[in-house]
Amino acid sequence: MAEKTYVADIDRSMYDFRYDEKDAYRIEEGLSPEIVEQISKEKNDPQWMHDFRMKSLEIYNHTQMPDWGPSIEGLNMKNIATYVRPNTKMANDWDSVPEEIKDTFERLGIPQAERKSLAGVGAQYDSELVYHNVQDFAEKLGVVYSDIESALHGPYADMIREHFMKLVPPTDHKFAALHGAVWSGGSFVYVPEGVHLEIPLQSYFRLNAKGAGQFEHTLIIVEDNAYLHFIEGCSAPKYNVANLHAGCVELFVGKNSTIRYSTIENWSKNMYNLNTKRAKVEEGGKIEWVSGSFGSHVSYLYPMSVLAGRGASSEFTGVTFAGKGQNLDTGCKVVHNAPDTTSVVNTRSISKGGGISTFRSAVVINPQAKNSKSSTSCQSLMLDSESRSDTIPAMDVKTQQADVGHEAKIGRISDEAVFYLMSRGLPEDDARALIVSGFADNVGKELPLEYAVEMNNLIRLEMKGTNG
Amino acid sequence: MNMTLNRLPSITWYWLKMNNGSLEGVDPAGEVSVKEEIPSQITAETLRLEDLPEQATGMGKDMTALVRTSGVPVHSYATAENQQADGVLRLGYAFQHEARSVNAVSLRAAKHSSLTVVQDFSSVRDAEGFAAAQTRYLVEEGAVLKLIQIERLGSGYTFLNDIGGRVENSGRVELIHLVLDGGHTYLGVQTDLAGYKSALKADIGYRVGGDHTLDINYFANHTGKKTTCDINARGVLRDHARKVFRGTIDLKKGSSGSVGNEKEDVLMMDDTVRNQTLPVILCTEEDVVGNHGATIGRLDESVLFYLQSRGMDREAVYEMMADARVASVVHLIEDGRTRAEVERYLGGISDSNEE
């Protein structure tokens, strides 16, 4: 019988450090109209946003918990503080950020990345952005990259009101309603017509507070004939109580424009990651999702693409690595609402150490989406028999004039491939580790080099194993 | 009674409306008499549902409750050990207009025996009514069961076709389902591959037209080591037809060395049809392989172009390819008499139960 290679869990030690909530303002735990009122007051909401929050809370209270995915019984909203504000104002230079917070982001490599390869950075600590800056050249192109609260009161206030939670309405599901009630932080990006921002923007979300929730809102509007690459990162130290992330991302892709939205998610293993992401793509536009899910205790994450204009397209490239104590339910949704639209889905998932990985998807081709094409490929790797890997892809095709294909495979590391590599001189350990790391390369090759390296830190470098 | 049918073993988003089918106000009245042709080596007897071992079926608990409350007997057919039945067990169900019936069947292929069964569900072409049939089977060690089901019911019929069975060591079950006509058809199949090297081969051919619906739930439950399943569905949708196919391969812990394959190929003939496909793989065992694939939509443009360049018009090409999909399943039927009867029916001539 072949011996097995031990594949290590992802090393989260670089993310697992914490500071006391020194001088932070922390709202009482739980969810009530009084708490939502208080958050609205703290945020200095305009009246419409205050009313929106209260309406969302009402929807939350009347909406059922999802029962089709991983259990979220360990999440009790009575124990979650929905707003924790660090004792600092947002700065646009790192020297003005309090030492401990600055140290946090330096250890995560954010200022260094900003200097080397980013056009702008937003850094959120608990419920508020503590740093936000956009490079001069991007500003000169007319790119707006700000915290969303400032945008609510500035020249883009009407644009925010017109778009905020219009793609993901609070009625979408229970945690969209929760987000509508208690959202705080996040970014607003506006890219004018014809602007190609070749260098990415990045937001990084760090949840430091124990027993807290993070509910940032990202709203990106890219006008016609433009391009944006936006990178999102997130992490948290591990606590022995549940934390919650229920963010929301809304992307509006103009005619013949492209947004590439890359995420490396590495929440700690006490995190319930119930995040919602959605893009609406106009004629000839394209949304590219690149998604790496490595962290959290439980994840529900399915970026959705609504292909609204003729010739719009979407690509979803994802990898999920579920280790011990993790139940990661990830995938995507695509709705073809216009003629000549195309979608491509390409995912990999790895389960080990009792981890559960589920690929869940939906491709809907509506009657008006004539001549649409959709292709889905998902592959799953089981590294032991304590783990679980499921694929649940749904296809709903409502027009004859469409071509829809799907293929999926679940299996183990191929003995033949290991034999081949060994015949080329690799030890068995290295051969197996190489195969496992190569399995996730669909995402790695889509990321900028620096982030691919980070992902390799998360997977490949941890796969040096021992037989046993 | 109100029924939830064909529920997916692992459900997904409710907004898709694909997790299960449902029926309201089901009120059957007794069984329809079955026209039997029983080869001499096969033992037939009548049992009660309570006499049978527990067996989950594809359609689910509500279907078994329907059989139980209707109080119909279970018609049981079995081979003896080491016996290769030299004939085909034929069970003909001729449903009458406005009938409401429930039938139950049990099949048992004893150790190292073989059993071939043809179940022919039919009615006059425009008949209305309700019919439900539950077929349970047990394939013992080294035995082979071949079950061929042909459905050709009236356009006003709602038909529930429910199957559940267990395959033991080195046993093999081969299922062929042909859904040729019917109003609203539900097909639920669960096969428990419990024995070492037990195997399932399933071929489903369907053509759904008018405003008819077809709701399928196919579940291969791998618990034994080195088990295999191959599920192939091929079909054609026309007019305003709607079809749901849920296919689940569940590779459970302990099923090491098992392989599950599943494929669906759907040809949509008109722009007003709707196809829903949900091919699921559940896996809690490392040393297994699960594959599924689906192709849905119109004909490949290169095929169409080639045939048009040979003088066929677009409609003729589609008709030919539609016929070919169903015919490819018909050709798998080894029993010549059944195959000929189906071919006659597909050719527009029906010699059974015409009024």
**A401/B298 CB distance under 8 A:** yes
A35 and A184 within one domain: yes
Identify the sign of the CA torsion A262, A264, A267, A273: positive
- pLDDT for A335-353, tens place per residue? 999 999 999 999 999 998 8
Residues of B whose CB is below 8 A from A388: 282-284
Residues of B whose CB is below 8 A from A408: 279, 281, 290-293
Looking at A276, A301, A326, which one is the last position of a domain?
A: A301
Domain spans of chain B, in order of start: 3-346
| Average model confidence (pLDDT) across chain B | 94
Residue A428 in domain: yes
Q: Which of B16, B270, B283 sits opposite A410 (nearest CB)?
A: B283
- pLDDT for A145-184, tens place per residue? 999 999 999 899 999 999 999 999 999 999 999 999 999 9
State residue A465's pLDDT score.
Answer: 40
| Average model confidence (pLDDT) across chain A | 88
Report the alpha-carbon distance of residue A329 to residue A299 in Å, rounded.
5
B53-71 mean pLDDT:
95
**A410/B275 CB distance under 8 A:** no
Residue A6 in domain: no
B292-302 mean pLDDT:
88
Contacts of A149 (CB under 8 A, 6+ apart): A43, A44, A185
Residues of B whose CB is below 8 A from A384: 286
Looking at A301, A333, A355, which one is the last position of a domain?
A: A301
State residue A23's pLDDT score.
Answer: 61
Residues of B whose CB is below 8 A from A398: 274
E runs forming strands in B61-212: 74-78, 89-95, 99-109, 114-123, 128-139, 144-152, 156-167, 172-181, 184-193, 199-208
State residue A13's pLDDT score.
Answer: 65
Pairing assessment for the beta strands B114-123 and B89-95 based on DSSP bridges: parallel
Report the alpha-carbon distance of residue A382 to residue B318 in Å, rounded.
42
Residue A5 in domain: no
A420 and A288 within one domain: no
State residue A160's pLDDT score.
Answer: 96
A277 and A147 within one domain: yes
Structure tokens at B39: 């080869």
b/e per residue A39-74 (b: at least 16 CB within 10 A):
bbeebebeeebbebbeebbebbeebeebeebbebee
State residue A78's pLDDT score.
Answer: 93
Mutate to test the interface with B, among A372, A397, A414 (most CBs of B within 10 A): A397
State residue B125's pLDDT score.
Answer: 85
A279 and A150 within one domain: yes
Phi and psi torsions of B41, nearest 5°: -80, -5
State residue A457's pLDDT score.
Answer: 62
E runs forming strands in B284-342: 289-297
Pairing assessment for the beta strands B156-167 and B128-139 based on DSSP bridges: parallel
Range of the domain at A71: 25-301
State residue A76's pLDDT score.
Answer: 93
**A396/B285 CB distance under 8 A:** no
First-to-last C-alpha distance (Å) of chain B: 32
Looking at A301, A322, A355, which one is the last position of a domain?
A: A301
**B280/A390 CB distance under 8 A:** yes
Residue A98 in domain: yes
State residue B28's pLDDT score.
Answer: 86
Residue A377 in domain: no
Contacts with B, A 198-227, CB within 8 Å: none
State residue A226's pLDDT score.
Answer: 98
Which one-letter amino acid corresponds to residue B312?
M
State residue A119's pLDDT score.
Answer: 78
Q: Which of B256, B281, B287 sits opposite A390 (nearest CB)?
A: B281
Measured between CA atoms, how close is B351 to chain A, in angstroms?
34
Residue A296 in domain: yes
Residues of A whose CB is below 8 A from B281: 380, 390-391, 408, 410
State residue A393's pLDDT score.
Answer: 96
B167 confidence band (pLDDT: 50, 70, 90): very high
CB of B304 within 8 Å of a chain A CB? The answer is no
Query: Residue B334: which H helix or E strand, with range?
Result: none
State residue B94's pLDDT score.
Answer: 95
Contacts of A288 (CB under 8 A, 6+ apart): A258, A259, A260, A261, A314, A315, A317, A446
Low-confidence ranges of chain A (pLDDT < 50): 1-3, 5, 461-462, 464-468
A425 and A295 within one domain: no
Q: Is the pLDDT of residue B171 over 80?
A: yes
A427 and A278 within one domain: no
The DSSP symbol for B51 reads: G
**B286/A400 CB distance under 8 A:** no
User: Number of folded domains in chain A?
Assistant: 2
- pLDDT for B210-262, tens place per residue? 999 999 999 999 999 999 999 999 999 999 999 999 999 999 999 999 999 99
Pairing assessment for the beta strands A243-245 and A388-397 based on DSSP bridges: unpaired
The CB density around residue A32, as the number of other CB atoms within 10 Å, is: 13
**A397/B274 CB distance under 8 A:** yes
Using CB atoms within 10 Å of the CB of residue B216, give its burial: 0 to 12 exposed, 13 to 18 middle, 19+ buried: buried
Structure tokens at A277: 């992401």
